[in-house]
């Protein structure tokens, strides 16, 4: 790919897996891990402890490997779908820019950053009255690729700050409302979950419609890459002051920090090529 060679001449991989992009391989691993977990959980009731990250475990020096395994696990099909949908688009663009090998190792680093931030801030939160609302509880479990995905967003926000993208805020609003309604009206939480899930899938698939009016139900918001992380994180942090959401904001922040740092490094080292990149990708 021309864009990738602007950053580094990378030897073309050989073998069976060379026909797939790193993004596609990581998506495949996540999907396989999810269904494997579903099967194993039927036989091993405590398996969640071995794959999900729990701050109190990490701080006590146990289940250290969950810093990595939690990045490839998901709490449900909807969680998996939304993350893999995001990874497909952000990952495909980021991989074209930084190359296959860099993409793989950075994805892991960003995911680990997200896990460590989740643990660190859960510990810090024990010193505040509502710390578990804002940062997550020290005994909360967490899984998901969101930290790594926010890392990719951080790279793109640094290298392509003015590139316009569409952030679909509809699913995010539904997730928040779904959680709040389930708490306020627990007797109908099952119905709320079903309706919310259907709405989220409908919103996501509407983005592929040729009908512009139908696409509006997903509430697409056009904004520059540099603004996307702010819009994606800050509102949830504000809500977190009042309601404990099932969202790992600190893991998102950790991955984002990793992406901003690495993106700044690339931007500094390859100044001329970054300028060329911004002219090539509109």
pLDDT tens-digit readout, 40-94: 888 887 888 899 999 999 999 999 999 999 999 998 888 998 899 999 999 999 9
What is the average per-residue pLDDT within 158-185? 83
> Above 90 in pLDDT, residue 200?
no
**Cα gap 24→97, rounded to integer Å:** 16
The model's confidence at residue 5, banded by pLDDT at 50, 70 and 90, is very low
CB within 8 Å of 84: residues ≥ 6 apart: 27, 30, 31, 145
> Above 60 in pLDDT, residue 17?
no
When mean pLDDT is compared across 2-16, 125-139, 189-203, 236-250, the lowest value belongs to 2-16
Query: Greater confidence, 2 or 241?
Result: 241
Whole-number pLDDT of residue 166: 80
Please, what is the average pLDDT of the chain? 85
**Cα gap 148→281, rounded to integer Å:** 23
Q: pLDDT (tens digit, 9 = 90+) per residue, 205-218?
A: 887 777 777 778 88
In b/e form, how buried is each residue of 2-34, taking b as 16+ CB within 10 angstroms? ebbebbeeeeeeeeeeeeebbbbebbeebeebb
Query: Greater confidence, 139 or 20?
Result: 139
**Displacement of CA 240 from its chain's centroid (Å):** 18
Q: List the CATH code of the domain at 2-163+224-280.
A: 1.20.1540.10
Whole-number pLDDT of residue 34: 94
Measured in residues, the chain has a length of 282
Domain layout of the chain by residue ranges? 2-163+224-280, 170-218
Q: How much is the pTM?
A: 0.85
> Above 60 in pLDDT, residue 7?
no
Percentage of the chain lying above the pLDDT 90 cut? 43
């Amino acid at each position: 790919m021309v864009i990738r060679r602007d950053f580094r001449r990378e030897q073309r991989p050989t073998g069976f897996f060379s026909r797939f992009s790193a993004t596609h391989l990581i998506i495949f691993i996540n999907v396989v891990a999810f269904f494997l977990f579903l099967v194993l959980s039927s036989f091993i009731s405590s398996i969640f402890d071995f794959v999900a990250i729990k701050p109190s475990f990490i701080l006590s020096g146990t289940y250290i490997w969950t810093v990595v395994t939690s990045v490839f696990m998901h709490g449900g099909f909807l969680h998996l779908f939304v993350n893999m949908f995001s990874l497909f688009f952000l990952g495909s663009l980021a991989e074209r820019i930084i190359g296959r090998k860099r993409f793989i190792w950075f994805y892991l680093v960003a995911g680990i950053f997200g896990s460590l931030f989740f643990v660190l801030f859960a510990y810090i939160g024990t010193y505040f009255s509502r710390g578990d609302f804002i940062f997550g509880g020290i005994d909360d479990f967490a899984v998901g690729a969101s930290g790594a995905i926010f890392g990719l967003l951080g790279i793109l926000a640094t290298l392509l700050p003015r590139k316009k993208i569409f952030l679909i805020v509809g699913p995010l609003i539904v997730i928040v409302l779904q959680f709040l309604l389930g708490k306020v009206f627990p007797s109908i939480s099952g119905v709320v979950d079903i309706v919310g899930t259907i709405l989220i899938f409908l919103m996501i698939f509407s983005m592929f419609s040729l009908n512009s009016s139908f696409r509006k139900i997903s509430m697409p918001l056009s904004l520059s890459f540099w603004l996307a992380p702010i819009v994606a994180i800050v509102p949830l942090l504000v809500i977190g002051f009042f309601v404990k959401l099932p969202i790992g904001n600190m893991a998102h922040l950790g991955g984002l920090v990793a992406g901003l740092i690495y993106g700044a490094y690339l931007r500094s080292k390859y100044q001329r090529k970054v300028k060329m990149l911004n002219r090539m990708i509109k």
